[in-house]
Amino acid sequence: MEKNFYEGKQANILKSFDRQYKYAQKYLVQRFDEATASKIHDDTIEQVRKLIPRLPDVGGKNNQFIQVILFCAWYIPFYKAASEQGMSAEEYVEMMTHVVHAAFTRYPGFIRHLVGRFVRSGSFMRRMKKRATISQGREYAKDWIYSVATATDDPDIFFEVEYSQCPVCILMKETGAEELMPYCNFVDFIMAKSLGYGFANPRVIGRGSETCVGIFRKDHKCDIPDYLEFAFKGLRF
């Protein structure tokens, strides 16, 4: 990773947070009040700046999943700031599910589904396979380590990804945000439902499994797991 990669992304991280905060503000005001919502916003910015030097080196822009780390750079501090005011992990996840849903679905369905077609393309799968091979070399101690399989018993499965290490879970543990780990995959389901591709996540490291398995389907089957139903209640895709 190039020197000071995350420091160079700080402005973008804070802009991303402010964009999502505009969606979250109404939930915070309803849950607390305007003054508390404003304090949570300001405390988040302060905590983002403190977290940036602690973000894991996973190869910077060369890592295809780097946007996930950049998301966590404000997502975790936002939770920490909100929890200090009394918001539970479940309340936060429910709020953020609606916030991320609003961000995704502001685009017309046909545009979103074009992106979804790319996720189910051969080029995407080949890229995943290439990066999976690189990840096995363990160049970065806290990087994702995973494998990709295309041979399955289900003809409707395009490919499966199995992660044996996840930097998101590592970061949540290191920052004392373990409460978020059981719901660490909520964005995966928002993406699948919004972009119109099939997806399942039968094993999740954040929920105690040794590995995390993501199944990308050729059909559009994407059932929300029981433990996330509370957060997706009322959402339309």
Q: Is residue 152 part of a domain?
A: yes
Q: Which residue is associated with the tokens 């290439």? A: 130
Percentage of residues of the chain with pLDDT beyond 90? 84
Degrees to nearest 5, angle at CA 66 with 12 and 37: 45
Which residue(s) pair with 160 in the sheet?
149, 215
- The mean pLDDT of 59-85, rounded to a whole number, is 97
CB atoms within 10 A of CB 223: 11
Query: Per residue in 86-130, pLDDT tens?
Result: 999 999 999 999 999 999 998 888 889 898 888 888 888 888 999
Distance of CA 217 to the CA centre of its chain: 19
Task: Answer yes or no: do 91 and 178 share one domain.
Answer: no
Q: Classify the phi-psi angles of 173: left when phi > 0, otherwise alpha if psi is within -120 to 50, otherwise beta.
A: alpha
Per-residue model confidence (pLDDT) at position 107? 86
How many whole angstroms separate alpha carbon 121 and alpha carbon 175? Answer: 36
* Residue 119 φ then ψ, to 5°: -60, -30
Per-residue model confidence (pLDDT) at position 45? 98
Give the 3-state secondary structure of residue 133.
helix
Q: Is residue 224 part of a domain?
A: yes
How many whole angstroms separate alpha carbon 24 and alpha carbon 191? Answer: 19
Q: What is the dihedral of CA 173, 177, 182, 187, to 10 degrees?
A: -110
- The mean pLDDT of 30-42, rounded to a whole number, is 98
pLDDT over threshold 70, residue 138 = yes
Task: Answer yes or no: do 147 and 127 share one domain.
Answer: yes
Task: Answer yes or no: do 114 and 224 share one domain.
Answer: yes
Task: Answer yes or no: do 203 and 119 share one domain.
Answer: yes
Task: Answer yes or no: do 131 and 58 share one domain.
Answer: no
Per-residue model confidence (pLDDT) at position 3? 55
Task: Answer yes or no: do 79 and 175 share one domain.
Answer: no
How many whole angstroms separate alpha carbon 9 and alpha carbon 4? Answer: 9
Per-residue model confidence (pLDDT) at position 164? 98
How many whole angstroms separate alpha carbon 12 and alpha carbon 70? Answer: 9
The pTM (predicted TM-score) of the whole model is 0.94
Own/partner long-range contacts of 145-150 (Cβ < 8 Å, ≥24 apart) = 150/125
Query: Whose CA is closest to 84, among 45, 51, 36?
Result: 36
Query: Pick from 77, 104, 131: which residue ends a domain?
Result: 104
**How many domains are contained in the chain?**
2
Task: Answer yes or no: do 117 and 202 share one domain.
Answer: yes
Confidence tier at 2 by pLDDT (50, 70, 90):
low
Which residue(s) pair with 157 in the sheet?
217
- The mean pLDDT of 35-59, rounded to a whole number, is 97
Task: Answer yes or no: do 31 and 143 share one domain.
Answer: no
- Give the structural domain span for 173: 109-232
Q: Which of 101-105, 163-167, 210-214 has the lowest mean pLDDT?
A: 101-105
pLDDT over threshold 70, residue 39 = yes
Task: Answer yes or no: do 138 and 221 share one domain.
Answer: yes
Q: What is the dihedral of CA 151, 152, 157, 158, to 10 degrees?
A: -10
Please state, rounded to an integer, the average pLDDT across all residues of the chain.
Answer: 95
Q: Is residue 124 part of a domain?
A: yes
Task: Answer yes or no: do 201 and 87 share one domain.
Answer: no
Per-residue model confidence (pLDDT) at position 151? 80
Looking at per-residue confidence, does 96 or 150 come out higher? Answer: 96
Query: Pick from 56, 78, 104: which residue ends a domain?
Result: 104
Task: Answer yes or no: do 139 and 166 share one domain.
Answer: yes
Looking at per-residue confidence, does 125 or 51 come out higher? Answer: 51
How many whole angstroms separate alpha carbon 156 and alpha carbon 142? Answer: 33
How many whole angstroms separate alpha carbon 109 and alpha carbon 104? Answer: 10
Q: Is residue 237 part of a domain?
A: no
pLDDT over threshold 80, residue 189 = yes
Task: Answer yes or no: do 64 and 134 share one domain.
Answer: no
Query: Pick from 104, 126, 155: which residue ends a domain?
Result: 104
- The mean pLDDT of 158-170, rounded to a whole number, is 96
